[in-house]
Structure 1
Amino acid sequence: MDMQSVGEAFIRPGQVLVDRGAVSAAARWTQAVSEADGVTVLHLSSGVDPCEITAELRDRGFRASPNHVLTGQPLFFGGPASRPFPVPPVPFRPGRSRSDVVVALLDTGVAKHPWWSGGDWYSRLGPEGADAAQGAQAGHGTFIAGLLARTAPGVRLRVRRVLDGDGLGDEATVVRALHRMRDDPPHVLNLSFGCHSFDDRPPPLLSDAIGALRDTVTVACAGNTASDRPFWPAALPCAVGVAALDAAQERRAPFSGYGTWVDACARGDWLTSSFLNTGEFGGYAAWSGTSFAAALVSGAVADAARREPAKEAVDRVLDPRQSRQIPDLGVLVPASL
């Protein structure tokens, strides 16, 4: 993926996301305009700085953002959260439980696995939901799907691939996917990826798209940044930002993001789940990252939502009177996996 680094954030060169009304205001800087699924992208003329144009348009009252590059969390440059490790088969029987709760999983897609053989959601999975199967983070979505299946038995997954096999996607792709959900919103939305923004302010188009899903509980990972710098979309007020704890569920995992913007925490260290059946892997892996802590919180909310609306379920799951609250990590959501 073509990208450039700006202020420790990554963006797609020469691209700015805007609301439709900004097109004419940016005409003199624009070489082309592309529109799909409610998303307008300005393709800027050579040499034009997308961050400067974003600032100019915002000063004039328009919604605008560079097309930030979003990455799955784990990252792929070393450390305990960098890669999966093969493990023997993990015991789990899907059982006959069925839930009416729908969890949308935007990620690398989901591969075939015994844990969902016969599942109606997987039988309807189209090419847009299949795992990319190649790359440093291939299997990321499959791993998360297994955590959701185990923490919310019988849950129905709605899978869309927005990240490639290296765990990379961009803001425009994610916002388009979110816009397509408006007519049939899920109960819970799991976003195990994110980014820093070029100015550390919330990306407005991404915020608008998540906020429009008013009855959906959006859960996002706090990032494997080991810092308190806001990580988006987890830091948005309309999202539940999730940090990772160590395997003992006592302390922050060393790689996890943290801060006052984090709402919840769950185990994110050395979890086991479903994976690709390829190479040294026989369909199972151990992996670490805030991506997977977020999935455990999504699963807890989805399981509670079997009995009450999702917005009420999340309030109960994150009730500080019911569980320990950890400074800069939010409310602990216990996991028994």
Structure 2
Amino acid sequence: MNLTDAPLGYAFEGDYPESYGSELLRLRTIVAQQVVRLADTRPSAEGRLLGVLIGRRSSDRERAQIEVALRRDGAPSLLARGELLISAKDLAAVGALVQDYGDRTVGDHVRLRRFAAGRVELDRVIDDCAVHNIAAHPNYIASMAAVGKGVGGPENAPWLGDFANYRIPNAPSDGGPGPRPPVAVIDTGVEETMRGDHWLGKVTRTPENLDLLDVLPRGGDGFLDYEAGHGTFVAGVVQRVAPSADIRVYRAADTDGFATDDDIAAAIVQAHRDGAEIINLSLGGKTLDDQPPLLMQQAVETVHAEAGRDSKGRFNKVIVAAAGNYGDRGIVWPAALDGVEAVAGLTAYLSPASWSSYGAVRFSTVGEGIRSVYPEGAESPLFDPEPDTFGPNAAAVWSGTSFAAPQIAGAVARISAEQNVSPRDAVDLLDARGKSVVGFGKAMRILQGIG
């Protein structure tokens, strides 16, 4: 790592060499297919996949049901069907309007749910609440794949080797003299199995943070679910970039890759209060009116209010989020929230990726053909026409801004440790060594990717 005089965008050049041997040609073909799928914005393709994913969860009434609402620009926005969010202190004042709704307290808000309620009824309740000067909000859903993009998902890749032997060339073997700022990965959770190759071996597993891998349709079908392994893969990216990082995994999304506003917000606040100094969010979505999801916004504000600012007036905590895979300048949450560092995707040649969201972005890095660890299991032919089977100690290649963001989170953790600086100082050092690209912030190569 050269943070002083390396060419802009190349501070990590040579730090993360890749060796694919005879597999390289096959992997290039696979990554090219992943990129084509990421760039496929046809409503028909997206609609078919969403239809399948919605149907898979329809018998499980404990799980948020997905409703697709089209924005004015024709892009889909995902909402939890029949659900509203309202301040707990306001509930009594509008109790008559929502007496048929079940409720669950979420922090200082209440999540109201009535599955039979359609958009017309919910809009009426929102309007009726507004008459009483009370705000009611939809419970938006974020996804791991920008709705239906990325069909086919991860693909088998050569083993990464035993983590005990993993080294970054010319980096301190002990990770450096500085503290290890805890990195929270808020995602689908982490695989329960302790890998024989020791990757993610120090990540704590609890019933609350496990990726359950195969639960949909209800009870499972013997195949990995649509976004199963996403959290494990993302955590592995952080560990590849910062081997000494203290990684903590939180489950906010289900195994098909969907997470409600309230669940994401709860995980953000919990990670912060557990001591995380860097938080990674490889998920996102669009709202109908381009206004931020209520509870995610409040969660980020809570983190920064409680953690405070440093002597330079900068937020102490670092929150990193994937910019999205929509291929446009549209607003994607939580990446667009104040106090969040948005990360866009580049090709392996450091050019802007056509499938990546862009615009109000702080960083960009390679998001095509990223290699990381992946859990054991078989892909479903429902989602991949050529399904893979992943064995013990598997590795995979995957593409998307989901896998660009954790490289930045990992780089911040690594710089903090090696340079003995705060995560916020590390963000600024990283920013200073990136190459400015319009709409893509400061561009840089960290992991090599495949092109």
Alpha-carbon distance in structure 2 between the residues aligned to 1:216 and 1:55:
37
Report the equivalent of 1:234.
335
Alpha-carbon distance in structure 1 between the residues aligned to 2:128 and 2:269:
26
Q: CA deviation at 1:42?
A: 2.3
Q: Secondary structure, in 3 states, of the residue corresponding to 1:145?
A: helix
Report the equivalent of 1:195.
285
- Check the 8 A contact 1:21/1:62 in 2, yes or no: no
1:100-179 map, 5 Å: 100-111=180-191, 112-114=194-196, 116=198, 119-120=201-202, 122=203, 124-134=204-214, 135-179=225-269
Alpha-carbon distance in structure 1 between the residues aligned to 2:197 and 2:339:
32
Q: CA deviation at 1:169?
A: 1.5
Alpha-carbon distance in structure 1 between the residues aligned to 2:97 and 2:128:
11
Q: Could you tell which deviates more after superposition, 292-301 or 106-115?
A: 106-115
Rate the CA distance shift 1:127–1:103 in 2: closer, same or farther, 3 A: same
Report the equivalent of 1:3.
66
- Amino acid corresponding to residue 85 of structure 1 in structure 2: E
Say whether residues 1:66 and 2:116 are aligned partners: no
Rate the CA distance shift 1:199–1:33 in 2: closer, same or farther, 3 A: same
Greater relative CO, 1 or 2 (CA 8 Å, sep 6+): 2
Alpha-carbon distance in structure 2 between the residues aligned to 1:16 and 1:67:
6
- Check the 8 A contact 2:184/2:271 in 1, yes or no: no
Q: Secondary structure, in 3 states, of the residue corresponding to 2:271?
A: coil
Say whether residues 1:288 and 2:370 are aligned partners: no
- Check the 8 A contact 2:158/2:395 in 1, yes or no: yes
1:197-236 map, 5 Å: 197-214=287-304, 215-236=316-337
Q: Could you tell which deviates more after superposition, 211-220 or 172-181?
A: 172-181
- Check the 8 A contact 2:81/2:117 in 1, yes or no: no
Alpha-carbon distance in structure 1 between the residues aligned to 2:338 and 2:286:
16
Report how many aligned residue pairs link the two structures. Answer: 329
Q: Could you tell which deviates more after superposition, 147-156 or 300-309?
A: 300-309
Report the equivalent of 1:263.
362
Find the partner of 2:423 among 310, 313, 328: 310
Find the partner of 1:276 among 363, 367, 375: 375
Alpha-carbon distance in structure 1 between the residues aligned to 2:446 and 2:205:
28
Alpha-carbon distance in structure 2 between the residues aligned to 1:10 and 1:329:
25
Q: Deviations over 1:178-197 (max 9, x none)?
A: 23234333110000001101
Q: Deviations over 1:264-319 (max 9, x none)?
A: 11100011111112242231101101100011111111112222121222122123
- TM-score norm. by structure 2 comes to 0.67
Rate the CA distance shift 1:25–1:141 in 2: closer, same or farther, 3 A: same
Find the partner of 1:26 among 91, 94, 106: 94
Q: Secondary structure, in 3 states, of the residue corresponding to 2:208?
A: helix
- Amino acid corresponding to residue 205 of structure 2 in structure 1: L
- Check the 8 A contact 1:301/1:314 in 2, yes or no: yes
- Check the 8 A contact 2:320/2:408 in 1, yes or no: yes
Please identify which structure carries the higher helix content.
2
- TM-score norm. by structure 1 comes to 0.88
Rate the CA distance shift 1:176–1:308 in 2: closer, same or farther, 3 A: same
- Which protein is bigger by CA-based radius of gyration? 2
Root-mean-square deviation over aligned CA pairs: 2.5
Rate the CA distance shift 1:58–1:253 in 2: closer, same or farther, 3 A: farther
